[in-house]
Amino acid sequence: MAIRTRARQLAAVSAVAATATLGLTAPAHAEPAEPAAEPLPYVALGDSYSAGSGILPLDPDASPLCARTTLNYPHLVAKRTGAQLKDVTCGGAQTKHFTESQYPGVAPQLDAVDKDTKLVTLTIGGNDNNTFIGAILACGSAGIVTGGNGNPCEKLYGSKFTDQIDANTYPALKSSLAAIKAKAPNARVGILGYPWIVPEKAQSGCFAKMPIADGDVPYLRKLQAHLNGAIEKAAKETGATYVDMAAASDGHDACKPSGTRWIEPVLFGTNFVPVHPNALGESKMAEAAIDSLVG
């Protein structure tokens, strides 16, 4: 019994000593944990270049008519930054679809934006006046007729497309960006320019993929530069950030081989929607958006 009693006493003394030692080494007050940062409320607006139309897999939260992918640049921006994304991008969207429904069951895109929104990205303008589709179809048809020679499209249409951009697209862009700013006054708004679709001049072997006459390749390039210029001007005049894709996408047009090009050609491409960014292109657009808008 004496041995057991002595053992209990020694155990008690050891416990007290251990507690005292811990008390000397432990801080008197634990540091409070850092509060978790709130995810950035982020709304993505825009057309098929924002939606990534033509790339699989499709976004199950979108109308199939929008052909939106989960690999579009808004999803990639959100994934890389931890932003809380509300993606209402839709293939075929025009600036008018910010305030009116594009398809049955598809709300006007500006409905997604409110005073709590802190980041907005978009590409828009290429479908107004059917600029992209109209020019590609017109120049493609003319190029086939001439077997790729001359500049038949430029001769037929001259300044028609650029005149429409100046008269209609530019003011619509400016009005749309102002409306976004009004609904989300504390948001950073970034509008991306369109990556290059064609090179500066005709390239050997490209006619099979992009049936544009040699002399009309620079004509289409200038048309796209004019559209991007209108987008940049509207952004500057409304306090939005213009995300310039020109330098980054140079040399990655639809005439380049797979793995280099960011835009898929009319023929023999990988996307089910031609003349649109592929997954690599959307990834590069995400990088540009992050570099310009998130920091």
276 is catalytic: yes
**Which position among 48, 50, 53, 249 bears the catalytic label?**
48
Strands (E), the chain: 41-46, 84-87, 119-123, 188-192, 241-243
Is the bond into 57 cis (omega within 30 degrees of 0)?
yes
Please state the length of the chain: 295
Residue 246: CB partners within 8 Å, gap ≥ 6? Answer: 193, 196, 225, 228
> CA separation (Å) from 290 to 77, 92, 196, 205?
7, 24, 19, 35
Tokens 């004496």 belong to 2
Contact 165, 127 (CB under 8 A): no
Q: Which residues contact 129 (CB under 8 A, 6 or more apart)?
A: 161, 164, 165, 168, 169
- Of 175, 204, 276, 283, which residue is the catalytic one? 276
d(CA 121, CA 85): 11
Distance CA 53, CA 151 (A): 30
Q: What one-letter code names the amino acid at 233?
A: K
| Catalytic residue list | 48, 276
